[in-house]
Every structure is written in structure tokens, then in C-alpha cells.
Amino acid sequence: MPTTSTSTIQRQANASVANLTDYDAALLNFSWHAAADELLDTFADGSLNITYNCIDRHAEGDRADKTALIFEQSNGEHEQYTFRDLKKLTNQFSNVLADLSVKKGDRVFVFLPTIPERYIAFLGILKLGAVAGTMFAAFQEDALLDRLGDSEASVIVTSPELYPRIKNIQDKLPALNQIIIVGRGQYVIPAGKGIISYNDAMDAASESFEPAHMQNDEYSYMLYTSGTTGKPKGIVHAHYDILQAMVTTKYVLDLRDSDIYWCTADIGWVTGVVYGTLGVWGLGGTNVIYEGRFSPENWYDVLEKHHVSVWYSAPTAIRMLMASATNPKSYDLHNLRHLASVGEPLNPEAIWWGLDVFGLAFHDTWWQTELGAIAVTNLPALDIKPGSMGKPLPGIEVAILDDAGNVLPDGEQGNLALRASTVSSLMKTVWGNPVKFDSYFKGEWYISGDSAVRDSDGYYWFIGRTDDLINTSGERVGPFEVESALVEHPAVVEAGVIGKPDKLRGEIIKAFVVLQDGIEPDEDMKHTLQQHVKHHLAGHAYPREIDFIDHLPKTRSGKIMRRVLKAQELGLPTGDTSTLESY
Ligand code: WTA
């Protein structure tokens, strides 16, 4: 198997995981149907609503005064919201939208920094039955235009600081007619077309609202995610998809009523939506959100100050913590009892480090935006083989297929695939792109685009992507988006972009750029192009390395052969180049 480690971490029958037998029993008899009976509340007509399940039912029951949200601000102060508070606030926000004539199925996007209003708006949109889209605050105009244009969003919720980016593209967005501005502290509501003050509108809104009754497969949230070709695609999920989020938060992340939970992901990405919002609140848990930037000291402070007990994070962050001189043992982190990781391969060293400094193993979890929730994982009760993603979640059927769709035997590397009908939270469509949606499936199988291998014990081991998609610090970046941003610069003729392996970030973005005649290929030009991508596409999606070259390897039909660029970069054989234009 692709690991250097031979040891297995035995299932942790210690204080960190109580009730193992309960878990085993529940999972042994697992069925989606029984899980829905246990975890979901539906209305008398059989319909449901995510926000009713996340907020209202807790506010109407024993958890009304339980802390739902702890907001740790970047200045070190914090705010707390109970389920009762969040019910009132989401009701008000649903009313704000209803007053703006937003209807079921309309797209409303949230483009805010990490503040409570980001969650209130998101849940208020779902309560009304509109489709909620989230966007990472680092997105710049190109990325925003792609998403708001394709989804034809009619309303966006943003902040005074982020609004100028929307203002600059507003003319190109005919469907966008209302812009709700959330101000905190000292702020000025900017003047502009369609502007509404969040605080004024909330003050005027009624505190009662009847959640929309949604059918299981009616749309809830959408997230634009990068693919290997073309612009990002809108992956659309349904209200019923909360079920798998809750099942996995309960059985994989091991969340209990008494826990304080922190998922470090931003709600602009799928992990922040599903595990920073739906799963934890579906179960009535206490959720920490953190406004500040990453630093080992800041993160350990958050863990210590709020007595975090369940922590869901990502390999790049863990590797940055490992590399830092700050010693976690100098903090009081005794409340931690369960750790999990997602987004990139979790290297065995990170697990050994966790065991050393926290006395706990990080449990790897694997899934994708399209899948809507964890699908392959290390359950608390499973022996961990460091370097492996673990086993399929009970209820989900996973296989390794060859390119023709045949199931491969254990030990053979191939396409990681899931039987579509067994993934409860699988995406419902790709917005406006049924051809793309269909392209994910081969017969009854959903093809993930990852390659993997299964060992004879049934554990899955991640190998890599089968396409050119880049995963940098756990964030998905499509090479085409970066290439498009680069060629917008007048000095650039064309560009090819790859993911280059990196010890810390998993991969970094590397660009090969052909410059216009007469432009100096120097360090200044590299810096200019990096800034250009940061300012037009997104802060995280710029190429950390740039090489200037004379021409790009292309097929005769003009397609850039990124595979060849990558092989050259890594000093590997370039493979079959017979279809190349010139080589
Ligand atoms: C990668 C994030 C290795 C994988 C939830 C997948 C992983 C893509 C793991 C999805 C893991 C996610 N080990 N690779 N545990 N988890 N990936 O849509 O390539 O942002 O296809 O969803 O991240 O990224 P996405």
C-alpha cells in the first residue's frame, strides 16, 4: 500500500471514545430510512426544512437556551447566540427576503467575512425555500461574476468592505437587483443601486416566520466548484441532504450534546456549509466560528478559551501547526476528545504528531462538494491505518473501477466510485448544465475523479486525481480559471497551469506563461502577474511559481497538454506525445 508506515492505531477504547458498543450496534443495523426516523423532523405533510431542523426545533424544545453559536472575533472578544436567538434572527431574515419578493427557488448569495450574519443569512434563505449560495470572501471580480452570472442570483448579502467588488460588476449582472449590506461596529452603508441596510431591514422585520415546506429533493444550497475544464460549476444540493450531514457528524465526528465543536473551514467552501453549519446544528450542538486569521497561537487560543472538544480541520493547517515553534502542550487543551481532518491526503506524520501533542489521532475523512457529506472515513471505532482514508460509511457502497467501469480487485489502483443510489446527500444537479451532471456517472456508479486502491482489509488509500484539478491547501482550483485570469493581462499570450506537489500545501499552483514579444521575462513581471490573479480571481488562487516559456505543448486541436507540463516539471517521462501539435 502507498505508505511507509506499517503500524496500525488500535481502535481507541479509552476515555476519548465512550460508548463504542452503542456505535457499533447503531452502525451494524444502519439504514438511511432508520437514520431519518431517528434524526430528522418532518412536517405533518412529510416535507421538511433544513433550518427548521437546525434551529427552530431546538429553539422550541429543551435546547432553547443552549448556546448554538460562539463567535470569536479577531479582536479577542466574543459573542454568543442561543438557539432561541437564532430562530428569531433567521425568522427576521426570511421576512426581509420575503418583503423583497424573494420566492422559493430564487438564488440568494452570501458574500461576507466570517461573522454570525453569514450564518443567519444562509439559514434564513433556506428557511424561506430560496437557494442559498455562499462565496469565499477572498473572491475577486472574475470569480464573483462567474458565480452570480451563471446562477442569475437576484439578491446578494455582503459587507461595506466587500461591496465595491460587486459594484464593479453589477452592470454585467442583470438579474441582481438587491444588495443587502451588513454593517458591524462603525460602518457606513454605501450609496448605490439596489442597496438595502441589513440592520434597518432586520429591525423592521417580523420575528415570526413559518418555514417553507420543502420536498426532499427540492433545492437548498448551491456551491460553485472547480473542475478541470471550463468555469466553476454550480453543484446543487437538496433539503434532505442534511440527513447524511447529521449522520456523519454524529457517527464520524462523534458529536454529543455536551460538546463544543469547531470546524475550521470557511462557509464559502463545502466543509464550512455542511460541517460548519448543517451537521452540528442539526444535532443541536454548540458551534464555534472564528473571524481571525490562521496562526498557531490564534488557533490554540480558540481551542483553549472555548474548551473545544471536537475539532474538524485540514492537513495543510495541521502541517503548519506541526512546523511552528509554538508548542500546543503549553496550552490547556484537555477538553479535546475527538479530532478529524478533510480535504487532502492526511500524511501519517500528522497523525503521529496529533497522538504526541494532543494524545489523540486525527481521523481522516474523504468526500467532495458533489457528495454533500463524508463518504469514506475512519469511524471512531475503527483501527486507523495511518495514510489510509478509512472505509466507506455504513450505508454507502464504494468500489474501485477500471476506465470501462468494471470493479477491480483489491490491491489494484483505479477510479474511486460510489454507487449513486447509496449516497443520500449526492448533488441533485449541476446548475444549468445537465450534460456536466450526466458526465459524473457510469451506469449506477458516480465517478469521483480521484484514483485510489483498496487493501485486503477493505481500507481505501488515496492516490491522486485522474484529471488536472489542483488541490492547494485543501482548496479546489481549476487550472482553466487561473489560465483565463493570466491571459487577461495584456503582457500574456497564453498560459498553462498545473498543481506542483508541495510538502506543506499538498500542491501549489504553477503557471507556464508565454509573454508578448518585447516583454521582459523578469521577476517584476512574475510579481505583476501574481498580483493580477490575486486581484481579479482570488487571493488563494494565484500561481506561487511562474516560468516563462516560448510555447506551450498543445494537441493539434489546440488544447493545452497540462500533463506534459507537469511531467516536465517533475522530471518524469512525458508519455504519449503523438497527438501534440509540435514536440
Ligand atoms: C480531495 C472537500 C485525500 C479529493 C470536502 C477530492 C481528499 C477533493 C480528501 C474534493 C482526503 C478530499 N484525502 N484527498 N481525506 N478529502 N480530498 O469538493 O481529491 O472541495 O476529490 O470537497 O478533495 O474537494 P472538495
User: pLDDT per residue over 23-62, tens digit each?
Assistant: 666 677 789 999 999 999 999 999 999 999 999 999 999 9
Closest C-alpha residue for ligand 1 atom 15:
366
**Ligand 1 centroid to residue 424 C-alpha, Å:** 18
Backbone angles phi, psi at 414, to 5 degrees: -170, -160
What pLDDT does residue 574 have?
A: 78
The three-point CA angle 221-107-241 to 5° equals: 15
- The grid coordinates listed for 276 are 460548519
Check if 18-453 and 470-570 are the same fold: no
C-alpha cell, 77: 472578544
What does the pLDDT average to over 418-426? 98
The mean per-residue pLDDT over the stretch 371-396 comes to 94
Ligand 1 geometric centre to CA of 374 (Å): 10
* Cα 368 to averaged position of ligand 1 atoms, centre (Å): 5
For residue 464, the ligand 1 atom closest to its alpha carbon is: 19
List all residues whose CB is within 6 A of at least one atom of ligand 1: 225, 269-271, 342-345, 364-369, 389, 448-450, 462, 465, 471, 476
CA-nearest residue, atom 14 of ligand 1: 344
Ligand 1 atom index nearest CA of 376: 15
Cα-to-centroid distance, 472 and ligand 1 (Å)? 11
Pocket test for ligand 1, best of 366, 418, 465, 470 (most atoms within 8 A of CB): 366
Minimum-distance ligand 1 atom for the alpha carbon of 449? 21
Cell of 322: 506541526
Residue in 346, 367, 379 to alter for ligand 1 test, most ligand atoms within 8 A of Cβ: 367
Give the residue, by CA position, lying nearest to ligand 1 atom 24: 368
Determine the distance separating the centroid of ligand 1 and the alpha carbon of 418, expressed in angstroms.
Answer: 14
Distance (Å) of CA 109 to CA 75, 157, 217, 283, 346: 27, 6, 20, 25, 32
Mean pLDDT of the chain: 94
- Which residue from 450, 453, 459, 475 has its CB within 8 A of the most atoms of ligand 1, so it is best to mutate? 450
Determine the distance separating the centroid of ligand 1 and the alpha carbon of 510, expressed in angstroms.
20
Cα 431 to Cα 446: distance, rounded to the nearest angstrom: 18
Whether the pLDDT of residue 1 is over 60: the answer is no
Q: Ligand 1 centre and the CA of 316: distance in Å? A: 13
All structural domains of the chain with their residue ranges: 18-453, 470-570
Ligand 1 centroid to 97 CA: how many Å? 34
pLDDT at 549: 97
Spell out the CATH class of 470-570: alpha beta
- 344 alpha carbon – ligand 1 mean position (Å): 5
The whole-angstrom separation of Cα 338 and Cα 358 is 10
The phi, psi pair for 36, rounded to 5°, reads -65, -40
- Ligand 1 center to 497 CA (angstroms): 20
Question: Does 452 have pLDDT greater than 50?
Answer: yes
Long-range contacts of 354-362 (CB under 8 A, 24+ apart): 354/318, 355/9, 357/327, 357/328, 357/329, 358/328, 358/333, 359/16, 360/16, 360/336, 361/9, 361/12, 362/313, 362/318
Confidence band, pLDDT 50/70/90 cuts, at residue 558:
confident
The per-residue pLDDT for range 221-274, each reduced to its tens digit, is 999 998 877 889 999 999 999 999 999 999 999 999 999 999 999 999 999 999
The residue contributing the CA closest to ligand 1 atom 6 is 368
pTM: 0.94
Rounded to a whole number of angstroms, the distance between the first and last alpha carbons of the chain is 36
Residue 22, pLDDT above cutoff 90: no
User: Which of 313, 374, 357, 287 shows the shortest CA–CA distance to 54?
Assistant: 287
Give 58-115 pLDDT, tens digit per residue. Answer: 999 999 999 999 999 999 999 999 999 999 999 999 999 999 999 999 999 999 999 9
Nearest to 313 by CA among 263, 248, 260: 263
What is the pLDDT at residue 27? 73
pLDDT in tens, 457-505: 999 999 999 999 999 999 999 999 999 999 999 999 999 999 999 999 9
Contact assessment for residue 378 and residue 363, using Cβ atoms and an 8 Å cutoff? yes
Give, using CA atoms, the residue closest to atom 25 of ligand 1: 368
Q: Which atom of ligand 1 is nearest to the CA of 475?
A: 20
Q: Please tell me the predicted confidence (pLDDT) of residue 332.
A: 98
pLDDT tier at 15 (50, 70, 90 boundaries)? very low
Please identify, in words, the CATH class of the domain defined by 18-453.
alpha beta
CA 342 to chain centre: 9
Going from the Cα of 366 to the center of ligand 1, the distance in angstroms, rounded, reads: 6
Query: Cell 434597518 identifies what position?
Result: 200
Q: Which atom of ligand 1 is nearest to the CA of 364?
A: 15
Question: Residue 275 carries which DSSP code?
Answer: I
Q: What's the pLDDT band for 14 if we cut at 50, 70, 90? A: very low
Atom of ligand 1 nearest to the CA of 476: 20
The fraction of the chain above a pLDDT of 90, given in percent, is: 90
